[in-house]
Chains A and B, each alone.
Chain A
Amino acid sequence: MSGSLFDKTGNATWAQCPACDYWFHVAPALLALETVDLICPDCAKPFAPADAKAMIGD
């Protein structure tokens, strides 16, 4: 049954760093602020959520 209460849909949002392609786990509450830069845990590059190379689950 599609879309039921019992489907396992996951809950994590991932961002990909535009500089080093590293995927990391971000909270929707952080993305919702829009004005706060994400910081890549791998290369330390700060970037706006809109500049992420890719997003999963947002």
Chain B
Amino acid sequence: MTDLRSYLNEIDNLVFRPDQPVSVVQEITALQHAMAAKSTNPAIFVRQPILPDGGISDMPVLTNLFASRELAAKALGIDDHRNSAKAMANLSSKAIDPVVVDAADAPVREIVEEGEAANLLSLPALRQHEGDAGHYVTCGHVVTYDPDTGIDNMGIQRLWVRGEKLLGCYMLETSHNMLNLQKFWARGEPCPVAIWVGHHPAVEMGAQAKLGYPESHWDVAGGALGEALRVVPSVTHGEKIMVPADAEIVIEGFLPPNRIEAEGPFAEFSGYQGPQIPNPVVEVTCITRRRDAIYHDCGSGLADHLVPDNMGMEGAIYALARQVAPSLINVHVPVSGRRFHAYLQFKDPKPGEARDAMMAAIAFRRLKAVYAFDDDIDIFDDREAMWAIATRVQWHRDLMKLDGLTLAPLDPSAPATGKTITKAAIDATLPAAPKPGQPKPVAPRNRVSDAALAAAEAVLDGIDTTGWPS
């Protein structure tokens, strides 16, 4: 069985477990901010979360699980995170059908709390940032189904814990879960929903693959895991909504028709607070969990939140742009650009090919700008990217602006009115060499020889650099 705890055992020495109690009100998230400032990204396992009433939760909190690209890639079986674009682009081709198991064989059914016994306040949900409306379930995989076909959908959505049995549920207007909800509501029926929390990170990342509608995510999640995902019928909805048997927690309920309430504000992926908006609510019918469940939180707006989704974007953008540009060799969606920027890397692109690829990539809804670089630029190093932009771009020639494209959701700089924006593509590639094997017709970059660099590294080997000026 492959699950969250088996993964935590694998990375045991990469998990920070503070000895002291830490509050779910901002303090756990502050730990993530403090670690990010030190450029260190271990998973964080808080054994003694302090609840809002001052008590200690019996349920530990795990967060920062996805903050490291290296760890996230390895969880998916990718040796080097720099290869995630191609690997994620091929994720769907590795799909493995799920297997249905009995409830008696499902760890997530060890505890079943139905009706009056179901209490969301028993979960150590975090109030992450100043100004957040309240405590949020941030790593809840929301499962609904299309009433026309019975095919389920799954996506991570922020969930505001508003009471023992009530969640505010952020549903993006264009999301597939919203399409399902609208179909149920058009029939005057509540939309059935189940929300699972905590599993092996490969399952969580595979579950976020960008698929068509309606298309189930279970087989792609299993493919990402490398084995058939074990699923079990939910208590409330039976086989209509399956949930992972090896998850940590499952919350079940309904989204009652046309019940729209205020939700938010909430500190979002952009690094800015998202406003209070109208959203549906979930009325909870049942909570099931493991006896010793781990509550998985995801630090909103931090690398923990951005890395897994950005890696998924890399796969989708690579697949889009590679169709028109065989010279495209890699894609990086950097955390520095949130989800608004993508770096495309080329090996000897033909004239116009980098622009072709950027036009294909910019169609990805979330992007506001794409950049083209040569293969001598490390697209995983923002300093190199900025150096290339500074030294290889002439703005009259290399900047393309495209008007009237789809708005990037939650873009804090988006115009107050209107539904489209202007996007940009910046070509920072060098002109091609006159002939293969000849130098490009530009000044060569400064460099020292590999031998000299190796000698320098030998001089520094074993030297304690602590305290040296940065």
Contact = CB atoms under 8 A, between A and B. Distances in A.
Chain A complexes with chain B: yes
A30 B277 contact: yes
Interface string A1-27: 000000001111101000000001111
Nearest to B261: A36
Interface residues of A, number: 22
Nearest to B411: A11
Contacts of A38: 262, 276
B265 A30 contact: no
Given A11-B415, A25-B273, A27-B275, A36 B260 contact: yes
A30 B416 contact: no
A1 to B, nearest CB: 18
B414 interface: yes
Count chain A CB atoms within 10 A of each CB in B260, B261, B275, B413 and give the residue with the most.
Answer: B275
Contacts, number: 59
B276 A41 contact: yes
B265 A41 contact: yes
Contacts of A33: 260, 278
A30 B276 contact: yes
Nearest to A33: B278
Contact of B265 (A11, A24, A28, A46): A24
A28 B276 contact: no
Interface in A28-48: 28-30, 33, 36-39, 41, 44, 46
Contacts of A28: 416
Contacts of B134: 41, 44
Given A39-B262, A41-B131, A30 B278 contact: yes
Contacts of A37: 261-262
Interface residues of B, number: 20
Contact of A39 (B133, B274, B412): B133
Contacts of B265: 24-26, 41
Nearest to A30: B278
A11 B276 contact: no
Given A25-B273, A27-B275, A36-B261, A41 B415 contact: no
Contact of B416 (A11, A24, A36, A41): A11
Contacts of A44: 134
B132 interface: yes
A41 B133 CA distance: 4
Contacts of A39: 133, 261-262, 276
Contacts of A41: 131-134, 265, 276
Nearest to A14: B275
A26 B273 CA distance: 10
Given A11-B413, A36-B260, A39-B262, A29 B277 contact: yes
A36 B276 CA distance: 12
Contacts of B278: 27, 29-30, 33, 36
A12 B276 contact: no
A25 B413 contact: no
Contact of B262 (A10, A12, A13, A30): A30
Nearest to B173: A29
Given A25-B265, A30-B277, A41-B265, 10 more contacts: A11-B412, A11-B413, A11-B416, A25-B276, A26-B275, A28-B416, A30-B276, A33-B260, A36-B262, A41-B276
26 contacts: A9-B416, A11-B412, A11-B416, A15-B276, A24-B265, A24-B276, A25-B264, A25-B273, A26-B265, A26-B275, A26-B276, A27-B275, A28-B416, A29-B278, A30-B262, A30-B275, A30-B276, A30-B277, A30-B278, A33-B260, A33-B278, A36-B262, A38-B262, A39-B261, A41-B276, A44-B134
Interface of A: 9-13, 15, 24-30, 33, 36-39, 41, 44, 46, 57
In the A-B complex, the 7 residue pairs with the closest CB atoms: A11-B416, A25-B275, A27-B275, A41-B133, A27-B277, A26-B276, A39-B262
Interface of B: 131-134, 260-262, 264-265, 273-278, 412-416
